[in-house]
Structure 1
Amino acid sequence: MKLDRYRVIQSRLQTGQYALNKLASGGIIFTLLTILSLRTPWDTTIWAIDQSDDSSIPIQYWVYGYAMIAAIAADGILALLPALSNMKQASLYAAAGFISYYSIYAASDQRWLEAVAGACMVLLFYAGKRTFSNESLMTLFCAVVLPLLCWSLL
């Protein structure tokens, strides 16, 4: 009975660590895109190409709505496959990002550019998966504090 309870606690802990890792990766990407958008005019950034101000997609949606979902889907596919090399895992992440962003922007004239940007963003999630450790306070800082600071700047 105690073994079953231990497994439940252990699985909850692993799920929380996984979510914190994804949020920390998203925080870094959100910070990079915020800095990029502050340095360039808003209507020349890739997330506002071919869209009016009324229908432009906020950076938060790009990172947490689309790229994170594509990265989680890539993780799900990797969980179903046998162990793959790092290069094949990165290729799967890039393909997931490319396909998801290409399908989101199917009506756009610049869909290839947006799809490549989406693949790069999802690859940054892959890098974050490898970079952030479970015991680091930097993971918590990147997951919580950085996005709040960036949100206040936008």
Structure 2
Amino acid sequence: MKNLANKLVKKLIKKKLKISFAESCTGGMLSSTITSVSGSSKVFNLGLVTYSNKTKIDILKVPKKIIDKYGAVSNECCLSMVKSLSKISKANISVSVTGIAGPNGGTKLKPIGLVYMGIKKGNKIIVQKCLFKNKNRILIQKATTTKVLKTLLVLK
């Protein structure tokens, strides 16, 4: 993970891009991983851990009706999180993550390991659904962080 973060920070510095994160299930791991790299202050803009539904609504302005209808772990919530983060942070790249890290909280429709990641760069937004098979909380958080870093590294 550290190696991926190093590569990403170098790439962002080279391209003069700023990045921000709105994290839920990763609990700040993405922000921590990036800021563990020397020089990251040139590219890291903002990291929010919006863990509760209340903070998603109050800080990220996710409409309550989205959480009521689709849940906090949903494509719709992740999309709303990344759009709002982009407005708040004014970063070139905004990333949102929401999911179920376990070991509890999973259902048949939303199992443990279900994670949505949203990335907004310029006017382009992608929301990706991931299902990590490992049911270990820390491993799901690490797998999510790794997946985000790898996705950002191949982003055009």
TM-score normalised by L of structure 2: 0.35
More helix by share: 1
TM-score normalised by L of structure 1: 0.36
More strand by share: 2
Q: State the structure with more CA Rg.
A: 1
Higher RCO (CA < 8 A, seq sep 6+): 1
